[in-house]
Structure 1
Amino acid sequence: MPWNVPDNNTDVEKQLEAPMPWIGMYVAAASLLCTLAMAADVFNGFRSKKYWFPSKYFSLNATSLTLLAVAMKLPVDLTTRMYTATDRLAKVSSLVFMSTAMSNFLTSLGSMGDKDILMNVTALGILVITVTTNVCIQVIQLHSFLGGRLVFAEEVLAVCSMLLLLVMFSSSALMIPSTKRYLETKYKEMHKSALIEEQVEMGRITTDKLRVLIKKYWVMAETSSPQFVIARSVMSTSSGVMTLLISLVFLEAQIRMAMEFKILDQSNSSYGWSTKWILLTQTIGVVVATIAPASRWFVAISFRSSNDVSSKSIKSAFTVEGYWTQKMVEWKQGSLSFKIRHLKRRKVVHDLRGSIIKLCIFAQFLIVLASKLVLLVSVCITSPPVSCFNFVKKLKTQKQISNSDTSRHREVTNNTEVDIEHYVMLLEGEVELPKQTLGNICKEVDYIIQKGKMHKPKNLLNFLYKSRNFDGVTEFDSHQVQSLHSQYLPYCWSLPVVTLTSIALAIPHIEKHKSNNLLNCVTEGLPFVELVDKNFDRKGSLSNMRTAADVVWVGVELYHKWQDNDLHETSLKGKNSTEILQELSNKAEKTVLEFKSDARDCLMRNPLNWPAKVIAANSMHRISRTMLLTHGIESDKTDEELFEQLSVMIADIIAACLTNLARVMTMKCHSNAIEEREKSVREAALLLGETEEILGLLQQRELPVLLDCDQAAYIEEWRAFIKKENKINQEPMSRHNAEIDASKSKKEHVTIEVEG
């Protein structure tokens, strides 16, 4: 059946254009999401006093590019008529919004790998070129009407700024790999120096030493952060100038249009009333997006002005450091990535590639030189007001500076002096960081430690006072308990803690507040125990044990259950502790034996590969049987006393485990991945704040002198060593008792003879 073509095409157009205002609102919503992400980065920068504003929430990735592509709906629309003031301004606002957004997430290139940089910059290039092409098509097709085209000059400038920023993106992307390599080499050298200092200060790691250690590595991590390096670069400075200028141009256009027209009442396109919302949201977005790039530009100027290196600045403005072109030089000198058998053809292709790369190197030289000249001109123009501002600020803070001795940038902690400047990592040709910047870096790590103190585990600290020694590490599991498998299943730190807690919560006749207190204490301590387990189990051999502990604890903490067995009901039904222990042991044994009888996979012959539920059941069986043996020997022990005994065991195990926290912090500081370094040191600082008092408490304890410090990280090593130590201590006592018995026997024999 042939289609019926409508007689009135106007009705068809109206039907098709009806949803256009809602499409416009979709564009406004995408712009708003980008604006909120940029605002979050700005807020985060002000809060942490990082005025170079790292890209954390709004970075170059698939999500941000998709949102920007939606926000560019108006510039790429070739069919909709947009001639009025509001429509034209909305179109220009989209282009300016794109430019400022690009400048805003320039630093995010530093947090990517080489492959991600290539993919994301390519995707950004496709988007920018697509928008530019569509604008150019419109201009070419409507060239005869350009005389009456509103804000045409601003539209052209916005497109040019997008293209220039894309060039800066490409230039920065080429610089990042060699920069990372240089920083990595420099970091390793500084790391060696720091390790030598740590070895010189050998001994027990105190909280003061940890604080100094974290501060050293924090300065190294912050100053070598790829995002911070890009923010300090001349490309970031040029992008800041570009963003500031294009934003001022857009502001001029809005003021001019507001004076000539009523800009919010001049919309006549298919997008209707939604054009006003697009203009409003993107205008706010431009304002927000200008803050970070403009601040980076101002910080760069402050760096140069505070160092007073005007003569050197002129010289450095005409010097291009090797890391800008090193990657391209390597490509030029390297062999072809594809094979060509014919020698002459291979030579031609190699020479052609070399010529293209040589041209790219020359272009990179020009881009870097231009950016350096922009910075130099900026410094020359703004130097007088910046110098006056710095002088006034210096007068106001002179008293504080003299008190804190920031002029030398030395941090003193309990007579331990640290030269912070020694750990600052700079690229070739970079000026020294201002004292205020270094001060803010040091203050930030102090703030993080203080933040950790605000969340310190008070219940856990009080609970650890129950532990007088570490006997509970060996007492919770006895070798007299018959194993359910021929191969011994080792423990991680967290598994016996959650198993003992489950047993303690099932004991009858215990006051509710005591059970709740134990649950709260273990809840606070378990994350630190799991942290030790995770950091030292590098090979993952105990991963199933850790999973079993986690699975059990979810049930205990949230539902008061151990594997679908309600612990509260169990405590109410049981007449005494012995029955409870027997019931838990039987259920656990049944679970393990049923699994063994049904298992057919050869992997299950090794208990390390058992499912989490079965591993947890095996642990419950062994520990509850051990408690039955102990309870049987001490049959006069009450439920309260057994609960207290279990609590002490738990405290002993947690205390022994937490003696490794200092090494966990050290390991986090020694993290090697450049992208993760800052995050890792931050975690160490936060952990120090949370556990400083716990570490102080444990440092007062006499620890077993283990053969190797690595052995202290594993509960099985503790158990083996303590058992060995107890055995050695018992042998002299046994010999002494035997001598006493022999002496008594001899005396009795002499007495009998005398009496006879």
Structure 2
Amino acid sequence: MLFPTNRILGSNSLIEYIHLLNQLKSYSNIPQDLISSFKHYILLIYSSDQQNRFSEPLLWIGIYIALASLICSIAMVADLLHGLRNRKLWFPCKYFTLNAASLSVIAVAMKLPMDLNDSMPGHVDQVSKLGSMAFMCIMMANLLPSLTTMTNKELFTNIIALGVLVITLVVNVCIQINTGVLTLYINNEDLHGTISDARDVSGNATIHNIAAILYVVMLLMLLIIHACSSLAIVESKKMLESKYQAGHETALRDPQLQRLSVDPVEYLTQHVRIHWIMAETTSPQFIAACSATSSASGIICAACALGHTVILVFTFYIVPPRGYTSDYKWSMLAIFVIQSIGVILGTIAPLFRCFADLSFRVTNNHIKVFKVEKYWTRTLSYWKQSSISFSSRSRKCKILIHNSRILVLSFCTGIQKTTVVACQMIGLFKLPFVICGVHCFDCWNLLKAMLVSSCIPLVRNPEHPEQNIDLLRQYVLYLQDGMELAERTLKGITKSVNLVIQNAENHQPSNLINLLNQYDGFQGVGIYDSTAVAYLDCWSLPLVTLATIAISLPYIRNDRVDSLLISVSEGLAYVKLVEDSLNTTSDYVRIQKAAKMLWLEVEFYNRWLGNKLQNHAPDVIRAQDILQWFRAEAQNVVTEVEAMGIHGSNERAICANSMYRITQTILNQRNINEFSQDKLFSRLSSMISQILAACLTNLPQVITTNCHTSVIEKRQASVHAAAQLLGQATQIINTLHRRKLPNLNGDDLAFIGNWRRALNNPFPQNP
């Protein structure tokens, strides 16, 4: 047998073995048949050496698995902290959601149980492989509420992808159980071990096989729960949307709410509270967390964590440990630690969701415990009743396909009902804990009442008076009839929106408020640009243009310039909200884009269309000269753009046209040649303040618009943004409410062109 390659000769074990055979040949008393038989082991040694060389990258693959597991664990912990911070103990999924990216990371984290032929000789290796299956169960339980954040198409594709991953994992684990790879122990110490050691290994292997089978069952149960929930989500969203729209219409006509309209802040606060409650109680994630499938998944998750703990105790405290000796080397320890921490921390959120249904109490005594509501099966019923087009012309073939479809859907409906009832039965395991928790809670309330009653003279309630719960309760929306939101939960939801508003009030835009208070009225909107030619304009572009002129004046104190710059920057953040909510046509969006580009250049680079500000000619000292310089530069830009054959809607052309019109308007004012830079700066600041004031009178409309959005998945975030805006803009709304508005309808206030026409023609003649 010849092995001429350098790769073979480079193997130390093979070279030593060949050298040993050559030595044996030199001895005459050793039979040649024996030496010849030893030569047959050369190929085995070569294969073993090659296998060791091929297994070298497995260490890096193990590190890759550990990093993927760490990402999943961090995402689950982030959702846990997000729920605690926002006092949402049903822990909505914000960071760890089911999508293509998360499925890819999860697939990497599941590399160990997917591995069919790599043996796991040590106990750390074995427990890590089993722990990966427990980790998968925990992740699936955490991902369940995120199904409600998807569209129907996304829901279908993600469930299919998750099903393929889970079924592949289950099949691979079953193969390993059958082949024995999952529980194969090979260690150098085992070769010289005692019979008792062998029994220990056999017992440990039996426990691991049982654990693997249980994990397989739990994975399949969780997959069925995900599929069952996805079918209910489609119909439940429709029901929730219908009830939300009805609640919104009721809120618009509510006489108690209309009586608060004299105080805009109080009216908006109550309006936000009402829509916050409707958004929270119709939140698909909240409804999913209160469902039977969520309770079942939480209990399964707790069982996985308990099983993983038992395996750890049995493996490392009862059976003599054998460490990690697989080809993954020390990366197995990193995988084991990270995934074990993920199992422990990831169990908290699903376990709390188990008790989310306690947020509701039954008001209808006729509700059955094991009742399957219609929304669980309505999607399947709709598919069963709908017709499909057939490509075949054969009548018998059409009848066969139709009957087969009805049969399959009827079977799926039965599976769906069985799953729901099974989940309700699994949910009964939490009853002992609920009873103990209720008794403990009652004892705590009694103790607290006794302490409070004994310290009444010393206690002062620092919070605002409690809101009218009865008024807010009528806006609580229910997916299932015969239920009522617990008063404790309703107060918690009301308290959460109050906290958001109060925290936002601590971040008032002080510089912007000071600028608005310096100048009264709205006259600056009518005089900033009095060109007779009709044109389209937005709020942000004239503000940026006027601010550019103001901060370019060289003889103004830096503190005044900086104060104006900060005020405009704060104001533009709110102007953007007004424009994004109320000025959304393509023409307005194009102008707003140009203004945004220009402001970035002015604020960060102190330039206007490439020209350095405060870099005028030495003889440009008068305010009039600076205005003429800007006008000339704007005209040059317009001429340059036209010479290049670029359309007038180009961003540079839009900004230059705005500068030309505004500077020409100011130059046409009387006594402009007598204006000092200080007087021009004050005039520009006045116009900026009054334009901002006119724009920000639309903030109440922006808040009410954000409270009501048609996209159910984005409704909570939109109402949260409205509550934050209300808190931040409280002083602005109160300040502008006292000013007299021009003769404009409510919808006309959103457009600066309407303001200009109304202020320039305050008394239009009747036709």
TM-score, normalised via structure 2 length: 0.87
Alignment correspondent of 1:724: 761
- 1:237 Cα deviation (Å)? 0.1
Matched, 1:635 2:657: no
1:669 to 1:309, Cα distance in 2 relative to 1, 3 A: closer
* Distance across 2 between alignment mates of 1:524 and 1:76: 54
Letter in 1 for 2:480: E
Alignment correspondent of 2:564: 518
Please say which of residues 97-106 and 253-262 is displaced more in the overlay: 253-262
Letter in 2 for 1:721: A
Matched, 1:694 2:732: yes
Alpha-carbon displacement from aligned partner over 1:376-398 (angstroms, at most 9, x marks no partner):
3432x234312212212322455
Alignment correspondent of 1:530: 576
- 1:447 Cα deviation (Å)? 1.5
* Distance across 2 between alignment mates of 1:217 and 1:458: 28
Describe the SS at the equivalent of 2:538: coil
Conserved? CA contact 1:235–1:371, under 8 Å: yes
Matched, 1:223 2:278: no
The one of 606, 611, 615 equivalent to 2:650 is 611
Conserved? CA contact 1:205–1:662, under 8 Å: no
* Distance across 1 between alignment mates of 2:634 and 2:447: 71
Alignment correspondent of 2:345: 288
Matched, 1:478 2:530: yes
The one of 349, 352, 358 equivalent to 2:401 is 349
Alignment correspondent of 1:493: 539
* Distance across 1 between alignment mates of 2:364 and 2:581: 49
1:42 to 1:523, Cα distance in 2 relative to 1, 3 A: same
- 1:441 Cα deviation (Å)? 1.1
* Distance across 2 between alignment mates of 1:175 and 1:401: 46
Alignment correspondent of 1:440: 492
Describe the SS at the equivalent of 2:742: coil
Alignment correspondent of 2:548: 502
- 1:292 Cα deviation (Å)? 0.5
Conserved? CA contact 1:321–1:429, under 8 Å: no
- The share of aligned pairs that are identical, in percent, is 35
* Distance across 1 between alignment mates of 2:564 and 2:365: 68
Please say which of residues 668-677 and 203-212 is displaced more in the overlay: 203-212
* Distance across 2 between alignment mates of 1:517 and 1:229: 48
Describe the SS at the equivalent of 2:90: coil
* Distance across 1 between alignment mates of 2:537 and 2:181: 78
* Distance across 2 between alignment mates of 1:674 and 1:641: 52
Matched, 1:563 2:606: no
CA RMSD across the alignment = 2.7
Please say which of residues 427-436 and 115-124 is displaced more in the overlay: 427-436
* Distance across 1 between alignment mates of 2:482 and 2:332: 46
Letter in 1 for 2:86: S
Matches within 5 A, 1:284-683: 284-300=341-357, 302-303=358-359, 307=361, 316-379=368-431, 381-396=432-447, 398=449, 419-429=471-481, 431-479=483-531, 488-570=534-616, 574-599=620-645, 604=647, 607=648, 610-630=649-669, 633-683=671-721
* Distance across 1 between alignment mates of 2:478 and 2:466: 29
1:400 to 1:565, Cα distance in 2 relative to 1, 3 A: farther
Please say which of residues 641-650 and 435-444 is displaced more in the overlay: 435-444
Alpha-carbon displacement from aligned partner over 1:484-533 (angstroms, at most 9, x marks no partner):
xxxx4321011110000001112231111111111011011111112111
* Distance across 2 between alignment mates of 1:309 and 1:466: 57
Conserved? CA contact 1:665–1:684, under 8 Å: yes
* Distance across 2 between alignment mates of 1:247 and 1:522: 55
Conserved? CA contact 2:364–2:482, under 8 Å: no
* Distance across 1 between alignment mates of 2:352 and 2:262: 44
* Distance across 2 between alignment mates of 1:693 and 1:503: 28
- 1:595 Cα deviation (Å)? 1.7
Letter in 2 for 1:189: A
Matched, 1:715 2:732: no
1:393 to 1:29, Cα distance in 2 relative to 1, 3 A: same
Describe the SS at the equivalent of 2:555: coil
The one of 223, 241, 244 equivalent to 1:184 is 241
Alignment correspondent of 1:162: 219
* Distance across 2 between alignment mates of 1:430 and 1:573: 82
Letter in 1 for 2:371: T
Conserved? CA contact 1:212–1:413, under 8 Å: no
Describe the SS at the equivalent of 1:677: helix
- 1:143 Cα deviation (Å)? 9.3
1:101 to 1:153, Cα distance in 2 relative to 1, 3 A: same
Alpha-carbon displacement from aligned partner over 1:155-174 (angstroms, at most 9, x marks no partner):
11111111100000000000
* Distance across 1 between alignment mates of 2:410 and 2:764: 75
* Distance across 2 between alignment mates of 1:95 and 1:211: 48
Alpha-carbon displacement from aligned partner over 1:231-283 (angstroms, at most 9, x marks no partner):
000000000011101110110110111212454x5222111111111111110
* Distance across 1 between alignment mates of 2:124 and 2:509: 58
* Distance across 1 between alignment mates of 2:90 and 2:139: 15
Alignment correspondent of 2:303: 245
Alpha-carbon displacement from aligned partner over 1:6-43 (angstroms, at most 9, x marks no partner):
46223222211112122111111110110000000001
Letter in 2 for 1:227: Q
Describe the SS at the equivalent of 1:419: helix
TM-score, normalised via structure 1 length: 0.88
- 1:598 Cα deviation (Å)? 2.8
Describe the SS at the equivalent of 1:725: coil
Alignment size in residue pairs:
700
Describe the SS at the equivalent of 2:616: helix
* Distance across 1 between alignment mates of 2:178 and 2:315: 24
Alignment correspondent of 2:197: none
Letter in 2 for 1:259: Y
* Distance across 1 between alignment mates of 2:223 and 2:350: 15
* Distance across 2 between alignment mates of 1:171 and 1:463: 57
- 1:597 Cα deviation (Å)? 3.2
Structure 2 residues without counterparts, runs of 5 or longer: 9-42, 185-201, 456-462
- 1:449 Cα deviation (Å)? 1.0
* Distance across 1 between alignment mates of 2:452 and 2:713: 33
Alpha-carbon displacement from aligned partner over 1:663-701 (angstroms, at most 9, x marks no partner):
000111121111111111111000001110010111111
- 1:620 Cα deviation (Å)? 0.3
Structure 1 residues without counterparts, runs of 5 or longer: 404-410, 730-756
Alpha-carbon displacement from aligned partner over 1:44-93 (angstroms, at most 9, x marks no partner):
11111111100111011112111111111111111111133211111110
Alpha-carbon displacement from aligned partner over 1:425-480 (angstroms, at most 9, x marks no partner):
11125632222222221111111112211221000001001222111001111226
1:202 to 1:539, Cα distance in 2 relative to 1, 3 A: farther
1:599 to 1:27, Cα distance in 2 relative to 1, 3 A: same
Conserved? CA contact 1:508–1:577, under 8 Å: no
* Distance across 2 between alignment mates of 1:352 and 1:108: 33
* Distance across 2 between alignment mates of 1:318 and 1:415: 37
Letter in 2 for 1:284: I
* Distance across 1 between alignment mates of 2:320 and 2:614: 72
